[in-house]
């Protein structure tokens, strides 16, 4: 950090936060280069975070490959790499105050129970909205292995009416107001954690880390736009600042399908092995 000259409030700081569950592909490279270049253009900071809360699917060798590919691409990050797997107990401890406020309840529904309770398929929404089967349960009924859910009605009552965030990405640019009816219909009582198994929701860990790392601008793919309202709600409940969001279009393949981790043909390592240069990759993603 440049000493003293820049106020922390005006510092531009962004991050790239891959999950080490597969190779870095063109879509990741686009996101990383975009965020990196934007930070460097304004004299800000660029951080690297491994979103490795999924202990079953994340692998150290994928992280090593991601680090190697980013270095090859000329994407340099400031400070140490943050690993979410180091913070699982911390995330769980930090949502306990919400339980004391009556905003959490234990849930023992299995996925099949939840599916059966839903009347219609939830096509096109980020969350399978929970029907509220366990909403009446008190925290004293919590069993080991129960999930903790956010009581969204109670949470919206606590944070009040005018909850907004700013989006600068091309598809959703503007000020977004979180509408109560929409939130209840599209988000519902989300699972935040499952303590015994050290499971924490992706969007919760990410919201804590953006705050902990002083991220002023979140730059990420449009596939994550639908998670933003629940993150902003959690930020209000947990007294965390709300960054500015920029959701960029996804890099798609020739058929218009979004790239996935399984698309090894688009892996940066593959292009490298075939003799591509970092400039070739930039050209391919339009940066
Ligand atoms: Zn339940």
Q: pLDDT for 199-249, tens place per residue?
A: 788 899 999 999 999 999 999 999 899 999 999 999 999 999 999 999 999
What pLDDT is attached to residue 195? 62
**If you measure from the C-alpha of residue 32 to the centroid of ligand 1, how many angstroms do you get, rounded to a whole number?**
38
Q: Is pLDDT of 277 > 80?
A: yes
**If you measure from the C-alpha of residue 239 to the centroid of ligand 1, how many angstroms do you get, rounded to a whole number?**
27
**If you measure from the C-alpha of residue 37 to the centroid of ligand 1, how many angstroms do you get, rounded to a whole number?**
44
Task: Check residues 1 and 150 and name the one with the higher pLDDT.
Answer: 150
**If you measure from the C-alpha of residue 107 to the centroid of ligand 1, how many angstroms do you get, rounded to a whole number?**
4
DSSP-derived pairing of the beta strands 104-107 and 13-16? unpaired
**If you measure from the C-alpha of residue 134 to the centroid of ligand 1, how many angstroms do you get, rounded to a whole number?**
4
**If you measure from the C-alpha of residue 136 to the centroid of ligand 1, how many angstroms do you get, rounded to a whole number?**
10
Beta bridge pairs of residue 15:
47
Nearest to 213 by CA among 55, 45, 26, 10: 45
CA-CA distance, 237 to 96, in Å (whole number)?
12
**If you measure from the C-alpha of residue 109 to the centroid of ligand 1, how many angstroms do you get, rounded to a whole number?**
4
**If you measure from the C-alpha of residue 148 to the centroid of ligand 1, how many angstroms do you get, rounded to a whole number?**
9
**If you measure from the C-alpha of residue 125 to the centroid of ligand 1, how many angstroms do you get, rounded to a whole number?**
20
Task: Check residues 119 and 180 and name the one with the higher pLDDT.
Answer: 180
**If you measure from the C-alpha of residue 108 to the centroid of ligand 1, how many angstroms do you get, rounded to a whole number?**
5
Q: Which two tokens stand for residue 14?
A: 């962004």
**If you measure from the C-alpha of residue 145 to the centroid of ligand 1, how many angstroms do you get, rounded to a whole number?**
12
What sign results for the dihedral spanned by CA atoms 226, 230, 236, 238?
Answer: negative
Average model confidence (pLDDT) across the chain: 89
Residues 160 and 169 sit within 8 Å (Cβ to Cβ): no
**If you measure from the C-alpha of residue 97 to the centroid of ligand 1, how many angstroms do you get, rounded to a whole number?**
21
Residue 128 sits at φ, ψ, to 5 deg, of: -80, 105
What pLDDT is attached to residue 2? 40
CA-CA distance, 76 to 71, in Å (whole number)?
6
CA-CA distance, 69 to 103, in Å (whole number)?
42
Taking only Cα atoms into account, the Rg of the chain, rounded to an integer number of angstroms, comes to 20
Beta bridge pairs of residue 83:
50
């Amino acid at each position: 950090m440049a000493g003293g000259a820049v106020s922390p409030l005006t510092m531009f700081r962004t991050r790239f936060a891959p999950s080490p569950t597969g190779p870095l592909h063109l879509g990741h490279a686009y996101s990383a280069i975009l965020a990196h270049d934007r930070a460097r253009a304004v004299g800000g900071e660029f951080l690297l975070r491994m979103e490795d809360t999924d202990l079953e699917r994340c692998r150290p060798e994928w992280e090593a490959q991601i680090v190697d590919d980013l270095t090859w691409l000329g994407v340099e990050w400031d400070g140490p790499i943050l690993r979410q797997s180091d913070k699982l107990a911390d995330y769980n401890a930090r949502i306990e105050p919400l339980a004391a406020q009556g905003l959490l309840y234990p849930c023992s529904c299995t996925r099949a129970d939840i599916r059966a309770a839903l009347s219609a398929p939830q096509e096109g929404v980020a969350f399978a909205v929970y029907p509220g089967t366990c909403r009446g349960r008190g925290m004293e009924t919590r069993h080991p292995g129960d999930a903790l859910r956010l009581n969204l009605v109670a949470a919206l009552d606590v944070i009040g009416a005018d909850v907004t965030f700013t989006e600068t990405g091309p598809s959703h640019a503007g000020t977004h107001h979180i509408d109560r009816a929409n939130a209840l219909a599209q988000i519902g009582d989300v699972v935040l954690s499952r303590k015994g198994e050290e499971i924490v929701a992706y969007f919760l860990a990410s919201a804590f880390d953006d705050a902990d790392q002083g991220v002023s601008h979140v730059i990420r793919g449009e596939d994550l736009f639908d998670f933003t309202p629940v993150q902003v709600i959690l930020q209000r409940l947990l007294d965390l600042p709300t960054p500015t969001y920029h959701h960029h279009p996804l890099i798609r393949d020739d058929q218009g399908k979004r790239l996935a981790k399984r698309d090894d043909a688009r892996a940066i390592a593959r292009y490298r092995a075939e003799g591509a240069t970092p400039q070739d990759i930039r050209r391919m993603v339009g940066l």
